[in-house]
Each structure stands twice: as structure tokens, then as C-alpha cells.
Amino acid sequence: MQRSEVNGYLKEAVAFFKAQRFSLPPFAYWSPEYWTTLGVAGDYIRQRGLGWDVTDLGSGKFEQIGLVLFTLRNGLIGDTSKIFAEKIMMVRKDQRTPFHFHFQKTEDIINRGGGRLVIELYNSDSQGKFASTDVTVRCDGLERTVLAGGSVILEPGESITLVPGLYHSFFATESHTMVGEVSSVNDDAKDNRFYEPLPRYTHIDEDQRPLFLLCSDYKTYLS
């Protein structure tokens, strides 16, 4: 992706969250220049990967395959001082996040408003492939069972719990949708298995200065 594209999607996400009456924390708006003045004061945010993430997962087709996320809070694996994480996401209409599961993370995915959120599901087998077994999940505490590859549709306000090893893919219908994630500690560098191998973070060509730093920019710009 071009940095100018990333900057444009960040501006769009800021406007979207404001329209949804969701307030981001102050560090969402820190400039790259301000980051450089913080020194070690910014280490807690950087080490936990808090902040912006814009990815097309190497597809080159962001509006069809990709996501804008903001990690609001997170811990570190093995550090018991914080054992949870939270993200807010802008899922564009018909924009898909491909099938993947997490080795360790359990997460609740919540439709916070906008259109419907469709979540397609498979159990995984011992080789990490799609299993043919029915999938049972909990949605707001109630069990729901679908066939392998079946879908659960979340209306605004509804949620689903996804456990380790459960393949899921999701996309929004009708309109852009604000999606929340509340989970155990998040480690995007090691805890994702995509069914089709994909890069978690996007290579960015620097045709502009960053509007805001992405969490994947911290090592490059602040080392």
C-alpha cells in the first residue's frame, strides 16, 4: 500500500468513529514528530502494540480484503499485570478479513453499530485444516450451532465468543460497521494462523509522511 492510501483510510476511520460517537484516546492523534519527543515514556504503548493498524494482508485490494483497527489496551504474554486486550475496528461494507484462528487468544467480537456482521466458521483439525464437524459457539451467552463453513450474523449490539483453534472470517453487509474486540492478551506477531498464508502487516511505500504512526511503524520511526 502507499502511505497516502493509509493516511486516507485513517482519516476516514477517524470520521467514522466520531460519527458512531466512539471516542479514541489521545494517543490516537499523536503526530510522528510528537512521538519522537516522548522517549521511554512511550515504551508501554509501543511494546504492547497499542494504536493504529491498517492492513490489506498483502492482497493489494484493501477495500475487498483488509481492515482498519485501533488497539486500545493490551498486555504482554506472561505478564499478569494486564491479561486482557481491547480493539475497535472499522469494517467496510463487503470488506473481508480472511479465515484465520488464534493459537492462544479467546475473543469476543461485538457488532457495535452500522450494518450486519457476517462471521463464517470452521473448526480446525489436527493438521490445521478445515474440519467437517459442526461448529458450536456462544453468542451473548447462548449456544448456537452451524454447519462447517456456516455463518453467524451479528446484528448491532450482538456478540460472539471465538476460542483458540476456531477458524473465522468476517465481513460487513449493508454499511460500514464498527466492530469491537475484547480478548485475552493479543499477540499479532505469533498468535495468528491464516488458512491461506498471508502477511499480517502490510508493506508500505512511503510516498507521504505518515499522518499517524501505525503500530507496525514504531520500530522504523522510533528506534
State pLDDT tens for residues 95-151.
999 999 999 999 999 999 999 999 999 999 999 999 999 999 999 999 999 999 999
Instruction: Quote the pLDDT of residue 199.
Output: 84
> Whole domain around residue 49: which residue ranges?
3-222
> pLDDT value at position 139?
98
Mean pLDDT value across the chain? 96
Closest by CA to 105, choosing from 168, 150, 38, is: 168
Q: How many domains does the chain contain in total?
A: 1
- For the domain that residue 13 is a member of, what is the CATH number? 2.60.120.10
CA–CA distance, 126 with 131 (Å, rounded to integer):
9
pLDDT tens per residue, range 168-216:
999 999 999 999 999 999 999 899 999 998 888 889 999 999 999 999 9
The answer, yes or no, to whether residue 36 has pLDDT greater than 80, is: yes
Where do we find the cell 449490539? Answer: 157
User: What pLDDT does 103 receive?
Assistant: 97
pLDDT band for position 92 (50/70/90)? very high
pLDDT at 14: 98
Average confidence (pLDDT) over 28-57? 96
pLDDT at 201: 87
pLDDT over 90 at 157, yes or no = yes
Distance between start and end Cα atoms, the chain = 22
pLDDT at position 222 is 85
Confidence tier at 53 by pLDDT (50, 70, 90): very high
3-state SS of 100-153 is EEECCCCEEEEEEECCEEEEEEEEECCCCCECCCCEEEEECCEEEEECCCCEEE
